[in-house]
Structure 1
Amino acid sequence: MSKIRINWKRLLVLFATVFLVIQIIGSFFFYELAIKRGPKDFLQNNADLEVSDQTMELFLNGEWIDWVNAQQFEQLTLTSRDGLKLSGYYLPAAVPTDKLVVLTHGYLGHAKQMGLFGQYYHHDLGYNIFMPDARGHGKSEGNYYGFGWPDRLDLIDWTQTLVKKLGPDSKVVYHGLSMGAATVLMASGEDELPHQVKAIIADSPYMSVYQLFAYQMNRMFYLPAFPLLDSTSLLTKIRAGYSFREASALKAVEKSNVPVLYIHGEGDTFVPTKLTKELYRHTESDAELFLVPDANHGESFALAQDEYKVRMDDFLSLYVN
């Protein structure tokens, strides 16, 4: 009987080659899926993003939409540090004020969607409002989505531009939703954050891009984070200039001195509520936590509008006056 001799060295090389090819193909697949600018069909009919009829009615037919369309926004532009032309919309208060809110939208959104909150800040609170299109969104340039990390520096540059426009005594509030919430938190940890930023409202944030993607890979594709997410992160570093692990709101709030009001829906399965609780627990500055029962991702304002406004008002009265 002849013996079959196995060349283990050659077999190991074959396995390593196949593994490497799978990692490369998978990295490009997930980069195209989540990071590259463009439509994201995989989010269509995602049960984790389903919201109530009440919320959908507000988002699609709320009177805030007519309000936004009726305003004479000044379109501002800014060249980012890496050469992208960014766009945003500024609306002065009806009565001159030194108060300004910068409203930052979520993933795949655009600036004027934040008019949902902007109407209240402008009409009821008397703020100047500014709503920027994040890089890769709306009218801003960029062929990738930054998930808050490169956007944090854009936000700081926008703030500096607006302070020059409005004066050094300006009092600035950041109010972000989802990716926009992560953006404002990431900016809060930067040494160059203008001292005019007095308060932050973070609605439905995540702790880090790596943690968010690890959760979504498991939930949507039943895949472990390592090693595919790490190789996708490396590709993103090469093509978009940032890695998933460095893009951390958690590390930022551990050294920030700007007060934060955290808001999250307790029914959120797209960005779990526990992530905001963890951010709140690690926040170095003054912080408050407002949880909305049964609210899914980003629908806290729609389901608890009156209480949401009360919590906003109380928080802002403490730090912006």
Structure 2
Amino acid sequence: MALWLAALLLMALAYPFYVVHRQTLGEHRPIRHTPAEWGADYETITHTASDGIVLRGWWVPGRGERAVLLLHGKGGDRNGEQTGIFELGRWYWERGYHVMMADMRGHGESGGKYTYFGVREHVDMLRWIDALDTKRRYRWALHGFSLGAATALMMQQKAPGRFTWVVADAPWIDFATLVKKELEKRAWLPPFTYPYVRWVAETFFGQSFKIADNQARCQRLCGRPVLYLFEDEDTLLTPYQRERLETLCPRAETVRFAGVGHVEAFRDDPKAYTETLKAHGL
């Protein structure tokens, strides 16, 4: 009996390691479509992160001074079939923007194994932009989806005044609440296991749940040029996340898209989505 109890305890302690590993894995896949399909000249660009990981993306020259960095979500990439980010890049380019599209670490054709919920990704992207735009010729906007949206918010906070606009499509606000919901949904772990899971993630996988949380960040960005987009049928982010944002920043500019799921608003209705962007000066 004692051996069985010891084995069960060991399994209970080990299982969260497996869960964290699975939930923080990125997703690599080859890039099939390129901006040549838009009729655009483009450059394949790379950047080596501070820990040696090589990131890959595109630079698509436009006209004038406006530039935009597009950031995919977890499990996505530059081609972004769930979000339609590739076609969104075309839309920005046709409006004259210089377009930067990147595979974040652990995704697409970039190196790395894990995702860090924006904590390392925002540093990667800030340094990449600085390396690309050394003379600060461009007026940058950021447009991110889910993980990419959280990354964009972190970039805006870290480099105030660097970005003219941030579009955050489906960012989490309260990270702990999101993690607890996902642990129960995907791993059958009740909320009381959260402190142990967090300890495992931070001690053995290099995560930082404190930095990944956007509540204080959204308060600090209140009144700054950030457009928050939410989808009414999002099964990842409950309405609580949007409501929490509106509590923390009553002045937050938010738009809700009806009848679509997580980060699917542009893909399902590009006209309504881009009209929203144009209405906000993008």
Return the TM-score normalized by structure 1. 0.75
In the other structure, the counterpart of 1:183 is 151
Pick the aligned partner of 1:102 from 40, 61, 69. Answer: 69
* Residue deviations 1:270-307 (CA, integer Å, cap 9, x gap): 222331332244249x6311101121111111333322
Alpha-carbon distance between aligned partners in 2 of 1:66 and 1:91, rounded to the nearest angstrom: 7
SS of the aligned residue for 1:149 comes to coil
In the other structure, the counterpart of 1:60 is none
Alignment pair present for 1:161 and 2:131? yes
Return the TM-score normalized by structure 2. 0.85
Change (3 A) 1:280 1:18: farther
Alignment pair present for 1:264 and 2:230? yes
Alpha-carbon distance between aligned partners in 1 of 2:53 and 2:187, rounded to the nearest angstrom: 33
* Residue deviations 1:213-238 (CA, integer Å, cap 9, x gap): 211122334432332x3333323323
SS of the aligned residue for 1:189 comes to helix
Pick the aligned partner of 1:76 from 41, 45, 48. Answer: 45
Alpha-carbon distance between aligned partners in 2 of 1:314 and 1:90, rounded to the nearest angstrom: 26
The structure whose Rg is larger is: 1
Matched-pair identity in %: 25
Alignment pair present for 1:302 and 2:267? yes
Report 1:239-258 matches (<5 A). Answer: 239-256=204-221, 258=224
* Residue deviations 1:180-223 (CA, integer Å, cap 9, x gap): 11111122222xx1633111001111124433221112233443
Alpha-carbon distance between aligned partners in 2 of 1:312 and 1:234, rounded to the nearest angstrom: 40
Alpha-carbon distance between aligned partners in 2 of 1:101 and 1:250, rounded to the nearest angstrom: 25
SS of the aligned residue for 2:133 comes to helix
Root-mean-square deviation (CA, aligned residues, Å) is 2.8
SS of the aligned residue for 1:307 comes to helix
Alignment pair present for 1:86 and 2:51? no
* Deviation at residue 98 of structure 1 after TM alignment: 0.7
Query: Which amino acid in 1 is paired with 2:64?
Result: T
Change (3 A) 1:239 1:138: farther
Give the length in aligned residue pairs: 272
In the other structure, the counterpart of 1:277 is 243
Query: Which amino acid in 2 is paired with 1:272?
Result: T
Alignment pair present for 1:36 and 2:7? no
Unaligned runs of 5+ in 1: 1-12, 40-63
Q: Which structure shows the higher helix fraction? A: 1
Change (3 A) 1:69 1:198: closer
Change (3 A) 1:155 1:279: farther
Unaligned runs of 5+ in 2: none
Query: Which amino acid in 2 is paired with 1:252?
Result: R
Alpha-carbon distance between aligned partners in 2 of 1:66 and 1:128, rounded to the nearest angstrom: 12
In the other structure, the counterpart of 1:120 is 91
